[in-house]
């Protein structure tokens, strides 16, 4: 069984990226299990909090990343890059120095939004960052006009192309 840890880099209640994360279990191929990690309570990175002991949620995050075979990060595109929430997850998971559990990890990056751009700047920057941390990005999935790609009031993706891209991405691990 391949276990993937999935995060949304948006704290917005109606976030499209969070909806995509919640859609993943139904799209995962056999043998791939998705564990969703809620980062709502993750504090803003502060080196003063990152000592011998760390906040409980940070310890839980680091353990979950370490135990996973890979991570799936869905980030909003903000100002032509990833969100600060996304960077915050990565910063916490990149420490302790040289031992951070995200270092060298396989990942899949996702960026969806209602605009026409399909999150491509976000995907480019996020892929570059994870690569600099020694990881391999096995799949990169963007989608424009994503508000048209879900069933109303549900997390079911009705757009075949997006659903297939996500399934193929999960299979790439
Ligand atoms: C501060 C800010 C900056 C944004 N910059 C971009 C951008 O550069 N490119 C883009 O396509 N959308 C941009 N958007 C639109 C977001 O990508 C869109 O609101 C998206 O739905 C946010 O993700 P979420 O639905 O997961 O919260 C921006 C939104 C905000 C709030």
> What is the residue extent of each domain of the chain?
2-171
The stretch 144-160 carries a mean pLDDT of 97
What is the distance in A from the centroid of ligand 1 to the CA of 42? 21
Which residue has a Cα nearest atom 28 of ligand 1? Answer: 78
Instruction: Give the pLDDT confidence score for residue 99 in this predicted structure.
Output: 97
- Give me the chain's average pLDDT, please: 98
Report the pLDDT value the prediction gives residue 153, as an integer from 0 to 100: 92
Cβ-in-10-Å burial (0-12, 13-18, 19+) of 97 comes to exposed
**pLDDT score recorded for residue 70:** 98
- pLDDT for residue 73: 98
Report the pLDDT value the prediction gives residue 12, as an integer from 0 to 100.
98
pLDDT above 70 as % of the chain: 100
- pTM summary value: 0.98
Burial 35-54 (b: 16+ CB within 10 A, else e): eebebeebeebeeeebeeeb
Superfamily of domain 2-171: Flavodoxin domain (3.40.50.360)
- From the CB of 76, is ligand 1 less than 6 Å away? yes
Tell me, in angstroms, the distance from the centre of ligand 1 to residue 30's CA: 33
The rounded Å distance from CA 113 to ligand 1 centre is: 6
Residue bearing the CA closest to ligand 1, atom 27: 15
- The answer to whether the CB of 145 is under 6 A from ligand 1 is no
Closest Cα to atom 14, ligand 1: which residue? 78
Instruction: Give the three-state DSSP class for 166.
Output: helix
CB-ligand 1 contact for 115 (6 Å cutoff): yes
């Amino acid at each position: 069984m391949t276990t993937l840890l999935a995060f949304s880099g948006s704290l917005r209640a109606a976030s499209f990226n969070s909806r995509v994360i919640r859609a993943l279990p139904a799209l995962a191929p056999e043998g791939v299990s998705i564990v969703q990690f809620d980062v709502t309570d993750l504090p803003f990175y502060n080196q003063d909090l990152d000592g011998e002991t760390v906040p409980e949620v940070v310890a839980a995050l680091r353990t979950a990343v370490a135990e996973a075979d890979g991570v799936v990060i869905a980030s909003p595109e903000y100002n032509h890059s990833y969100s600060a929430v996304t960077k915050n997850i990565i910063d916490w998971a990149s420490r302790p120095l040289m031992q951070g559990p995200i270092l060298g990890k396989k990942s899949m990056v996702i960026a969806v939004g209602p605009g026409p751009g399909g999150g491509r700047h976000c995907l480019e920057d996020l892929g570059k960052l994870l690569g600099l941390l020694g990881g391999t990005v096995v799949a990169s999935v963007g989608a424009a006009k994503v508000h048209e790609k879900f069933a109303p009031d549900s997390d079911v993706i009705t757009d075949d192309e997006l659903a297939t891209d996500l399934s193929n991405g999960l299979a790439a691990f």
